[in-house]
Structure 1
Amino acid sequence: MKPIVRLATKDDLPILDTFMDDLVNAERPMDATIKDGKVVYYDLENFITNDDAVLYVVEINDELVASGYAKVKPDSVYLKHNKHAYLGFMFVPEKHRGNGYNKLIIDALLIWSKTKNVHEIRLDVYSTNPSAIKAYEKVGFSKHMIQMRLDINDLEN
């Protein structure tokens, strides 16, 4: 069956909450700063109801197989653009990976961004997640800046 890309609805929230749990669990090994226990990255309902955000899903046979959001954010005054669309919650359950669903989500988010007259698109990806980096590069993203961190408690005195 052909995948359907559509706007998420409030009825999708229970499944999307499980997507978020799975995403957090997948990212924990890549990020020592994520708290233990239940973590909520996003206010998903806000993405559904906010005019400056959108949440898309891919559905096959009444099953959600991918998600992603875009949110318009203001940018620094020194940049050539005054706003960008930030993409996040790019998630495909493991059993559905490799089928191009992430690209379907990104394509929908880029079209939506154009309707908001936003042409600068940003996202974050862990440097230790080469498969995600490759997937984003495949659809046109390029590495831009490296964020670095330090926990001074880890330094030896």
Structure 2
Amino acid sequence: MENIQVRQARLDELPTLLQFEQNLIAAERPLDDTLVSETFNYYDLEKMIHSDEAEVLVATLGDRLIASGHARILEGKHYNSFARYAFLGFMYTEPDMRGRGINKLIIDALVAWAGKKGLDEVRLQVYSDNTPAVAAYEKVGFKKMLTEMRLSTDHP
């Protein structure tokens, strides 16, 4: 593989990270008609970069940021066998860099971070119609558990 490096994101990279987030939202809009049409953010990336309860990573090729991902520590439900877990998100790879195993590099680093935090559960959410993403996550070991379904009250 090329000389792709995975490391913690820096605050001075926030403009690029925010663009990654908008690219991610644009890719997900066709999969979710409940997303508002106005510009919005999924994450408070600046806060997560500063937090001990989150890890924001980037992949680089030379000086270029080519991918991102984050893990946040969340509380398990009272019925879970774990008290806390790592929740992955912000998984984005630039289109011309896809198919090179970069997502796996980031996931492996985030899983290692979760392990160092004493967590043994890692979860994420993916749109079921996003078959390339589902396949990529299954390839690194994630298993489907639950399908969330919706119905609008104005449905005939």
Amino acid aligned to 1:140: G
Residue ranges of structure 2 left out of the alignment (5+ in a row): none
| Cα distance in 1 for residues equivalent to 2:16 and 2:100 | 20
| Cα distance in 2 for residues equivalent to 1:47 and 1:99 | 27
1:98 and 2:99 equivalent?
yes
Higher mean alpha-carbon deviation, 134-143 vs 34-43, is at 34-43
2:3 is matched with 2
1:11 and 2:1 equivalent?
no
Amino acid aligned to 1:9: R
Amino acid aligned to 2:38: G
Amino acid aligned to 1:38: T
1:82 is matched with 83
1:35 is matched with 36
Amino acid aligned to 1:114: G
Residue ranges of structure 1 left out of the alignment (5+ in a row): none
Amino acid aligned to 1:145: L
Q: Normalising by structure 2, what TM-score?
A: 0.97
1:125 is matched with 126
Structure 1 residue 23 displacement after superposition:
0.4
1:111 is matched with 112
Structure 1 residue 47 displacement after superposition:
1.2
| Cα distance in 2 for residues equivalent to 1:20 and 1:148 | 24
CA deviation profile, 1:119-156 (whole Å, cap 9, x unmatched) = 11110000100100000000000001111111112x22
* 2:89 aligned counterpart, secondary structure: strand
Task: Provide the identity percentage.
Answer: 44
| Cα distance in 2 for residues equivalent to 1:77 and 1:127 | 27
Which aligned pairs between 1:39-50 and structure 2 lie closer than 5 A? 39-50=40-51
Q: Normalising by structure 1, what TM-score?
A: 0.97
2:74 is matched with 73
| Cα distance in 1 for residues equivalent to 2:62 and 2:117 | 31
| Cα distance in 1 for residues equivalent to 2:95 and 2:143 | 24
CA deviation profile, 1:66-114 (whole Å, cap 9, x unmatched) = 1000001001111111111000000001111011110110010000000
| Cα distance in 2 for residues equivalent to 1:112 and 1:149 | 34
- Which contiguous aligned blocks of 4+ residues in structure 1 show a shift greater than 6 angstroms? none
* 2:88 aligned counterpart, secondary structure: strand
Amino acid aligned to 2:151: L
